[in-house]
Chain A
């Protein structure tokens, strides 16, 4: 028990993790012809939920209707299954390292409440941005760069570039 307590924040060497992640991207393209993703599954969840609660509204909306088909649920989607896998994989890794537990992680300089507000606001922005940019860091940026897609490089530069530009205004939350 004491050993796991001490090792809670010992992570892999980033080059090792990056190399394995690269092999996963490679394997995904080799198998399916497409890359990884994450935000697409959250989009599918919202589309499915709206389609259940207000089916006519979903069909009349020009955005939801792109992702609704007669013969299958929006949740019957490759990315939704992949995201279920991410949750299982994260649980296995966290479990093996003793990192599982309910927690709000934040800098000691800010309150728990402030952390949660910023997490919610950041999520809303990321949700909007990932629709406009047609994918998030996994789907648009990482998978896109792997096939040398112009859009992949644009997403990467825009996400991280803006992150650096805005970092000053959010510094109290982190350092």
Chain B
């Protein structure tokens, strides 16, 4: 039966209302988890605070387990969910550029928005930077285009592409997540504390 709006179980007119409500929940959880603080976010790269890894990994595993359970129980049809197209090199190089941006600014776009909401001026400057970045990309699109449109692999999941069993894959991902939580707790105890 699900997803509900594409299958018109909930009328399409509700789409934008639901967008705002989901956004409010998203922003509330991000801010309450401390993601409005760039110094807390950057901690994941220096070992003094692993909140990013814990929140991010827990969320991904929870959502993946939940979606496959709902598919199994017939509440949602996984085949109808959006899977983003994979452009191998665009994804890798784009991700690498984002990684440098992340460590430079200490924010990613979603977390910066919650920081803007509580008045962080550095986050406002960061959002202006993102818009300048989008502008540069669009104006210089002819340079980026071959990379942007090249090495296209389709809208693939690990199930389609590697033939992985999704249940074992998610189980493996969960084990990796729990191990990562355990190891990062050990690392954090050995790293010099940073107060922020």
Neighbouring A residues of B115 by C-beta, 8 Å: 90
**In chain B between 1 and 57, which residues have their CB closer than 8 angstroms to a CB of chain A?**
2-6, 10, 15-16, 18-34, 36-40, 42-46, 48, 50-51, 54-57
Contact with A along B126-153 (1 / 0, CB 8 A): 1111111111111101101101100001
Distance between Cα atoms of A24 and B16 in the complex (Å): 16
Contact call A125/B101, Cβ cutoff below 8 A: yes
| Contact status A12-B33, CB under 8 Å | yes
Q: Is the CB of B129 within 8 A of A86?
A: no
Judging by beta carbons under 8 Å apart, are A27 and B126 in contact? no
- Chain A, interface size category, equals 35 or more
Are A123 and B101 neighbours in the complex by a CB distance under 8 Å?
yes
The 8 Å CB contact of B54, one of A14, A26, A134, A141, is A14
- B6: chain A residues at CB < 8 Å are 32-33
Residues of A near B16 (CB, < 8 A) are 78, 81
| CB pair A63 B99 closer than 8 Å | no
Secondary structure dominating the interface of A: helix
In the complex the two chains form, what is the Cα distance from A154 to B93 in whole Å?
10
Partner among B59, B81, B102, B142 whose Cβ is within 8 Å of the Cβ of A147: B81
Which A51-99 residues have C-beta < 8 A from chain B? 61-64, 78-79, 81-95, 97, 99
Nearest CB of A to B176, in Å? 12
B187 in the interface (beta carbon within 8 A): no
Whether A167 contacts B114 by the Cβ 8 Å rule is no
Q: Of A83, A87, A115, A127, which is in contact with the most chain B CB atoms at under 10 Å from its CB?
A: A127
| A31 sits at the interface (CB 8 A) | yes
Query: Out of B23, B66, B156, which one reaches A149, CB within 8 Å?
Result: B156
Contact of A158 with B22 in the complex, beta carbons under 8 Å? no
Determine how close the nearest CB of chain A comes to the CB of B101; give it in whole angstroms. 3
Shortest distance from the beta carbon of A45 to any chain B beta carbon, whole Å: 6
Q: Which residues from B are CB-within-8-Å of A39?
A: 109, 130
Interchain Cβ contacts under 8 Å between A and B, 10 examples: A9-B37, A11-B32, A21-B58, A31-B18, A61-B141, A83-B113, A85-B22, A129-B96, A130-B94, A162-B97
Which residues of B are interface residues toward A (Cβ below 8 A)? 2-6, 10, 15-16, 18-34, 36-40, 42-46, 48, 50-51, 54-64, 66-67, 70, 75-76, 78, 80-88, 90-123, 125-139, 141-142, 144-145, 147-148, 153, 155-159, 161, 164, 166, 169-170, 181, 192, 194, 196
Pairs A-B, 3 closest by C-beta atoms: A85-B23, A127-B133, A123-B129
A positions within 8 Å CB-CB of B: 9, 11-12, 14-15, 17-36, 38-39, 42-43, 45-47, 50, 61-64, 78-79, 81-95, 97, 99-107, 115-116, 118-167, 170-171, 173-175
